Amino acid sequence: MNLTPMMQQYREAKERHPGMLLLFRMGDFYELFDTDAETASQVLGLTLTSRDKTVRMAGFPHHSLETHLHKLLKAGHRVAICDQVEDAALAKGLVKREVTRVVTPGTLTEDELLDPRQANHLVAVWSGNQSGNRNATLPKGSIGLAWVDLSTGQFQAADVPWAKWTDELARLAPSECLCPDCEGPSFLPDGPPPLSDKLRSLNPEMTITLRPDWNFDSAAALSVLSDHFRVATFAGFGFQDDQPCLVAAGALLFYLRETLKAGLAHIRRLQPYRQDHYLFLDEVTRRSLELTRTLREGSRDGSLLSVLDRTVTSMGARLLQEWLLAPLAGRQSIENRLDAVAELLGEHQLRQELRDNLKESFDLQRLTARVSTSRASPRDLSAITRTLRLLPRIKAKITARKAGLLAELESRLELCPDLRELLDKALVDDPPLSPREGGIIRRGYDAELDELHGIAKGGKDWIARFQADEIARTGISSLKVGFNKVFGYYIEITHAHADKIPPDYHRKQTLKNAERYITPELKAYEEKVLSAEEKIHQREYDLFLALRDKVAAETNRLLQTSEVLATLDALASQAELAASRQYCRPELCDDPILEIHGGRHPVLDQTLPPGTFVPNDVAMSSEAGFILLITGPNMAGKSVYIRQVALLTLMAQMGGFVPSQKARIGLADRIFTRVGASDELNRAQSTFMVEMIEAANILNNATDRSLVILDEIGRGTSTYDGVSLAWAIAEFLHDQVGCRALFATHYHELAQLAERLPALRNYNVLVREVEDQIVFLHQIAPGSADKSYGIHVARLAGVPAEVLDRANEVLKELESRHVETRRPLNVPRRRRREQPDHPSLFAETDFMRRVNKEVKSANIDGP
Give the separation between CA 641 and CA 620, rounded to whole angstroms. Answer: 14
CA dihedral 401, 405, 407, 413 (to 10 degrees): -130
Residue 614 belongs to some domain of the structure: yes
Query: How does DSSP classify residue 601?
Result: -
Max distance between CA atoms of the chain, in angstroms, equals 131
Of 309, 304, 321, give the one whose Cα is nearest residue 577. 309
Mark whether 202 and 269 lie in a shared domain.
yes
806, 794 contact by CB (below 8 A): no
104, 259 contact by CB (below 8 A): yes
Residue 315 belongs to some domain of the structure: no
State the average pLDDT for the chain. Answer: 87
Mean of the pLDDT values across residues 340-360?
97
State residue 804's pLDDT score. Answer: 78
- Tell me the per-residue pLDDT of 215-229, one tens digit each, with 9 for 90 and over: 999 999 999 999 999
State residue 39's pLDDT score. Answer: 93
Cα–Cα distances in Å, from 375 out to 96, 534, 763?
A: 21, 23, 60
Mark whether 730 and 833 lie in a shared domain.
no
Query: How does DSSP classify residue 781?
Result: E
Reported as a pLDDT band with limits 50, 70 and 90, residue 206 is: confident
CATH of the domain at 31: 3.40.1170.10
Point out the least confidently predicted range of 208-222, 395-409, 585-599, 785-799. 785-799
* Amino acid in the structure at residue 120: N
- Tell me the per-residue pLDDT of 542-557, one tens digit each, with 9 for 90 and over: 999 999 999 999 999 9
Mark whether 493 and 479 lie in a shared domain.
yes
Q: Does residue 185 have a cis bond before it (omega within 30 degrees)?
A: yes
Mark whether 41 and 144 lie in a shared domain.
no
3-state helix, strand, coil in the chain (%, to 5): 45, 20, 35
- Asked if residue 841 has pLDDT above 50, the reply is no
Mark whether 491 and 530 lie in a shared domain.
yes
- Cα–chain-centroid distance for residue 236? 30
Max mean pLDDT among 16-30, 95-109, 200-214, 580-594 falls in: 580-594
Residue 322 belongs to some domain of the structure: no
603, 302 contact by CB (below 8 A): yes
Mark whether 592 and 573 lie in a shared domain.
no
Element (H, E) at 99: strand 97-103
31: helix, coil or strand?
Answer: strand
Of 656, 513, 687, give the one whose Cα is nearest residue 588. 656
Mark whether 809 and 766 lie in a shared domain.
no
Report the first-to-last Cα separation within the chain, whole angstroms: 78
Mark whether 119 and 89 lie in a shared domain.
no
Of 143, 104, 137, 140, give the one whose Cα is nearest residue 125. 143
Mean of the pLDDT values across residues 722-728?
89
Residue 624 belongs to some domain of the structure: yes
- Cα–chain-centroid distance for residue 109? 13
* Amino acid in the structure at residue 601: H
Residue 282 belongs to some domain of the structure: no
- Tell me the per-residue pLDDT of 634-686, one tens digit each, with 9 for 90 and over: 777 889 999 999 999 999 999 999 999 999 999 999 999 988 655 443 444 67
CA dihedral 326, 327, 328, 329 (to 10 degrees): -100
Mark whether 710 and 606 lie in a shared domain.
yes
- Tell me the per-residue pLDDT of 456-513, one tens digit each, with 9 for 90 and over: 776 677 888 899 999 999 999 999 999 887 888 999 999 999 999 999 999 999 998 9
Residue 298 belongs to some domain of the structure: no
Give the separation between CA 73 and CA 95, rounded to whole angstroms. Answer: 28
Q: What are the residues whose beta carbons fall under 8 Å from the beta carbon of 285, sequence distance 6 or more?
A: 646, 671, 672, 673
Mean of the pLDDT values across residues 43-71?
87
CATH of the domain at 142: 3.30.420.110
* Amino acid in the structure at residue 350: L
Mark whether 123 and 264 lie in a shared domain.
yes
- Cα–chain-centroid distance for residue 643? 24
State residue 133's pLDDT score. Answer: 34
Cα–Cα distances in Å, from 144 out to 117, 180, 257, 347, 543?
A: 27, 12, 20, 45, 44
Kindly report the backbone phi and psi dihedral angles of residue 433, in degrees, each rounded to the nearest multiple of 5, phi listed first.
-75, -45
Reported as a pLDDT band with limits 50, 70 and 90, residue 135 is: very low
Mark whether 81 and 226 lie in a shared domain.
no
Of 314, 283, 323, 372, give the one whose Cα is nearest residue 690. 283
Proportion of the chain above pLDDT 70, given as a percent: 89
User: E strands of 207-305, at which residues?
Assistant: 207-211, 271-272, 280-281
State residue 712's pLDDT score. Answer: 83
Beta bridge partners of 664: 587, 595
Q: What are the residues whose beta carbons fall under 8 Å from the beta carbon of 668, sequence distance 6 or more?
A: 279, 592, 649, 653, 705, 706, 707, 740
Of 587, 654, 593, give the one whose Cα is nearest residue 621. 593
Of 318, 254, 259, 263, give the one whose Cα is nearest residue 121. 318
pTM: 0.85
Cα–Cα distances in Å, from 214 out to 77, 218, 243, 254?
A: 24, 9, 17, 10
Cα–Cα distances in Å, from 302 out to 204, 293, 307, 308?
A: 24, 7, 7, 11
* Amino acid in the structure at residue 75: A
Q: What are the residues whose beta carbons fall under 8 Å from the beta carbon of 861, sequence distance 6 or more?
A: none
| Pairing verdict, β 616-620 and 594-599 | antiparallel
State residue 587's pLDDT score. Answer: 98
Kindly report the backbone phi and psi dihedral angles of residue 46, in degrees, each rounded to the nearest multiple of 5, phi listed first.
-90, 155
- For the chain, how many helices (H) and strands (E)? 27, 27
Give the separation between CA 58 and CA 22, rounded to whole angstroms. Answer: 12
Helices (H), 654-743: 687-701, 719-732
Mean of the pLDDT values across residues 12-23?
90
129, 184 contact by CB (below 8 A): yes
> Which has more pLDDT, 565 or 162?
565
Query: How does DSSP classify residue 733?
Result: I
Element (H, E) at 506: strand 506-510
- Tell me the per-residue pLDDT of 687-696, one tens digit each, with 9 for 90 and over: 788 888 888 9
- Cα–chain-centroid distance for residue 841? 49
Q: Report the domain count for the chain.
A: 6
Given 273, 307, 341, the domain boundary residue is: 273
Mean of the pLDDT values across residues 284-297?
92
Mark whether 498 and 559 lie in a shared domain.
no
Residue 237 belongs to some domain of the structure: yes
User: E strands of 771-850, at which residues?
Assistant: 773-782
Q: What are the residues whose beta carbons fall under 8 Å from the beta carbon of 292, sequence distance 6 or more?
A: 286, 300, 303, 304, 305, 321, 324, 325
Max mean pLDDT among 432-446, 591-605, 803-817 falls in: 591-605
Element (H, E) at 807: helix 801-821
552, 371 contact by CB (below 8 A): yes
* Amino acid in the structure at residue 740: R
Over 393-445, what HEC string results? HHHHHCCCCCCHHHHHHHHHCCCCHHHHHHHHHHECCCCCCCCCCCCCECCCC
CATH of the domain at 754: 3.40.50.300
- Cβ-in-10-Å burial (0-12, 13-18, 19+) of 248 comes to buried
731 φψ region: left (φ > 0), alpha (ψ -120 to 50), beta (else): alpha
Of 813, 807, 815, 808, give the one whose Cα is nearest residue 838. 815
CATH of the domain at 358: 1.10.1420.10
Residue 795 belongs to some domain of the structure: no
Range of the domain at 240: 114-273
Mean of the pLDDT values across residues 351-379?
95
State residue 188's pLDDT score. Answer: 37
Give the separation between CA 165 and CA 206, rounded to whole angstroms. Answer: 16
